[in-house]
């Protein structure tokens, strides 16, 4: 259960980001939420897969396991670098690309706002968690 908490925090924050966006544009928050969330949700999942793969690669794969280190145990989902940055960029870029493919808007101002808000959310909680004892 403890290992799933960081993913759940990320997922809730992506949903909050989408809800804030819908509300700020006077759109029904619940009515179209799935349409707004799914591109960023897929990007988030992709980010987690990439971050786990990077952690496994950095751990040295089989050599690390023989030396007593398991890549899954060495993966720090709460780390700002590289996990948080990978998750943030994948959520942002994947979300924007999927919005384009699905015919949703990706104005430059939206990309800038999304990049900033997602960075504050996805990197911010990790930085705060590391700073607190």
Q: What is the pLDDT of residues 86-129, one digit of tens each?
A: 999 999 999 999 999 999 989 999 999 999 999 999 999 999 99
- Measured from the Cβ of residue 29, the count of other Cβ atoms closer than 10 Å reads 13
Inter-residue contact 43 to 91 (CB < 8 Å): yes
Inter-residue contact 18 to 39 (CB < 8 Å): no
- Long-range Cβ contact pairs of 126-130 (< 8 A, separation 24 or more): 126/6, 126/78, 126/79, 126/80, 126/83, 126/84, 127/80, 127/84, 129/78, 130/78, 130/79, 130/80
Q: Which pLDDT score, from 0 to 100, does residue 3 have?
A: 80
Give which of 94, 126, 96 is closest to 112, Cα–Cα.
96
Q: Which pLDDT score, from 0 to 100, does residue 84 have?
A: 98
Q: Which pLDDT score, from 0 to 100, does residue 63 have?
A: 56
Instruction: Please tell me the distance from the alpha carbon of residue 55 to that of residue 113, in angstroms, as a whole number.
Output: 29
Q: Which pLDDT score, from 0 to 100, does residue 61 have?
A: 61
Instruction: Please tell me the distance from the alpha carbon of residue 51 to that of residue 90, in angstroms, as a whole number.
Output: 10
| Residue owning tokens 């819908």 | 22
């Amino acid at each position: 259960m403890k290992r799933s908490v960081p993913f759940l925090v990320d997922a809730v924050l992506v949903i909050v980001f989408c809800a804030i966006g819908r509300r700020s544009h006077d759109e029904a928050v619940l009515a179209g939420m799935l349409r707004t969330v799914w591109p960023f949700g897929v990007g988030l999942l992709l980010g987690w897969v990439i971050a786990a793969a990077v952690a496994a690669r950095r751990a040295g794969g089989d050599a690390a396991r023989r030396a007593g280190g398991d890549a899954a145990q060495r993966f720090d989902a709460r780390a700002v670098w590289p996990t948080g940055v990978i998750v943030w960029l994948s959520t942002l870029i994947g979300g924007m690309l999927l919005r384009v493919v699905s015919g949703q808007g990706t104005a430059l101002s939206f990309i800038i706002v999304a990049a900033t808000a997602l960075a504050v959310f996805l990197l911010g909680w990790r930085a705060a968690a590391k700073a607190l004892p």
